[in-house]
Amino acid sequence: MWIIDASVAVRWFLEDEKNAYADAVLARLIDKPECFGVPELFCFEVYAVLCRVHPAGQEAFEAGVVPLLTGGMFRQPMDESLAVKAAKYIRAGLTGYDSCYAALAEEVSGTWLTFDMKAHQALSKMNVSHLLSHGMPDFWFKD
């Protein structure tokens, strides 16, 4: 399972942030939503960014993000299991938000797709994240 970071999703809506790798994630998400997941905070993060920097943030969220969220991807609420796993990633140097993405990737034996270099580097030896600015994961094409 692929865990999508908010840093990936906002690139779908901001012209100055367009990225071919983010677009590839979106194309696969539309085609195979069951292969993707997000912690519930993803919704709040993407909404907040779009409302702050997109000229029509509310509309972009409603038209572009809500259908994806309700289209079959896995959404994980914050629960005890996720919190326990997230604590390990907080100790590794991640923020509370980022630790939830990493914990979800661990919980579902997936990979967290992100553009956050600092978070990815903090996890470099844990094999739980992939930095999309360096390209698609090698095993992306095998699914």
Looking at residue 141, what is its pLDDT? 65
- 18 or 100: which leads in pLDDT: 100
Model confidence at 139, pLDDT cuts 50, 70, 90, reads confident
Looking at residue 15, what is its pLDDT? 87
pLDDT at 97 over 90: yes
Q: What CA–CA distance (Å, rounded) separates 88 from 53?
A: 32
Looking at residue 140, what is its pLDDT? 79
**Model pTM?**
0.95
Say what percent of the chain tops pLDDT 70.
98
Q: What count of other Cβ atoms lies within 10 Å of the Cβ of residue 85?
A: 17
pLDDT at 143 over 60: no
Model confidence at 103, pLDDT cuts 50, 70, 90, reads very high
CA–CA distance from 47 to each of 10, 61, 62, 140 (Å)?
Answer: 9, 6, 9, 27
Pick from 47, 44, 71: nearest CA to 57: 47
Looking at residue 124, what is its pLDDT? 83
Looking at residue 142, what is its pLDDT? 60
CA–CA distance from 14 to each of 9, 23, 26, 100 (Å)?
Answer: 9, 12, 14, 24
What domains lie within the chain, and their CATH numbers?
2-138 (3.40.50.1010)
In tens, the pLDDT along 43-93 reads: 999 999 999 999 999 999 999 999 999 999 999 999 999 999 999 999 999
